Amino acid sequence: MNPLRVTTLGAGPPLALVHGWGFDSRVMLPLAERLAVTRTVQMVDLPGHGANRDVPMASDLPGLAEQLDMTLPATRDWLGWSLGGLACLQLARSRPDRMRHLVLVATTLRFTAGPDWPAAMPATEFAAFAAALDADPTATLARFAGLVARGDAAGRDVLRTLRRAPGVVPDPDALVTGLALLSGSDLTEGADTVPILWLLGGEDALIPAKVVDDLAGRTGHQVEVLPGVGHAPFLSATTACHDHIEVFLHD
């Protein structure tokens, strides 16, 4: 297993950024540039995405976390969005000794609903999305961009940005694997010893607002809900995200 390719911005204490499903790290560039004023921002493309399109994605979350661990073994502060957040949280659970702070943007402990975790998308919707991906990947990625922007007060601008975002179309196998990780991963059990900041959109179409109640009571977790924001807070609430992150990382 080889380290993933990383794009680096700025100078200062290192902070790794890991993007979500269907995009690559460049979609988070507005936030990365703000953070790079005071930090070395390490933008990681997930396997099968962007600069790492030729790298196979691990078939399970621990394997994906191991790929991140090998890539940036000295980095102690991490930020993950959606699928990238799940991978970062798995890394924190597997190797709490190598992480100082963790920021999770539009992430949840489990993306599909279950008896003990109702505040999530029904599994049937994920199954339908997977079937659509198999039938027409291009249309499904476009639909997903619409879901990311849905509910956001700046939804039209967010959708326009997502559609114009530079990047390489992800590897089809990586899309299938990533969707399976989103639908099948469950991190609701287990305690976290790493301080975590959750940045959630108040109008996120993919993560129900009720998930806040399940997260807020966890020791060491700080939850910030950004009103009028959807599944891409770093695009429509860049300044607010930056400010919350900077305060959290200085604690």
Q: Is residue 64 situated within a structural domain?
A: yes
Query: What phi and psi, each to the nearest 5 degrees, are found at residue 228?
Result: 70, 20
Contacts of 129 (CB under 8 A, 6+ apart): 140, 144, 179
The domain of 162 spans 6-250
Whole-model pTM: value is 0.95
Q: Is residue 91 situated within a structural domain?
A: yes
**List 24, 69, 171, 204, catalytic entry:** 204
Output the six-digit token pair for 54. 């030729």
Is 204 known to be catalytic? yes
**List 19, 101, 231, 242, catalytic entry:** 231
Query: What phi and psi, each to the nearest 5 degrees, are found at residue 44?
Result: -100, 125
Q: Is residue 106 situated within a structural domain?
A: yes
Report d(CA 246, CA 239) in Å as an integer.
11
Q: Is residue 151 situated within a structural domain?
A: yes
Total domain count, the chain = 1
CATH number, domain containing residue 91: 3.40.50.1820
pLDDT tens for the chain, residues 1 to 251: 789 999 999 999 999 999 999 999 999 999 999 999 999 999 999 999 999 999 999 999 999 999 999 999 999 999 999 999 999 999 999 999 989 999 999 999 999 988 888 888 888 888 888 899 989 998 999 999 999 999 999 999 999 999 887 667 899 999 999 999 999 999 998 878 899 999 999 999 999 888 888 887 777 889 999 999 999 999 999 999 999 999 999 86
Q: Is residue 124 situated within a structural domain?
A: yes
Q: Is residue 206 situated within a structural domain?
A: yes
**List 82, 101, 242, 244, catalytic entry:** 82
Output the six-digit token pair for 126. 């994920």
Q: Is residue 1 situated within a structural domain?
A: no
Q: Is residue 28 situated within a structural domain?
A: yes
Output the six-digit token pair for 72. 């940036």
